[in-house]
Amino acid sequence: MQSDPAERRPAPPRGERLRWGLTGLAAILLVVMATAASLRPTGNDDRPGTGESLAVLGVAPGPATRPPEP
The answer to whether the predicted template modeling score (pTM) of the entire model surpasses 0.85 is no
**What is the 3-state secondary structure of the chain?**
CCCCHHHHCCCCCHHHHHHHHHHHHHHHHHHHHHHHHHHCCCCCCCCCCCCCHHHHHCCCCCCCCCCCCC
pLDDT for 10-36, tens place per residue? Answer: 766 778 889 999 999 999 999 999 999
pLDDT for 41-62, tens place per residue? Answer: 766 655 655 666 776 777 777 7
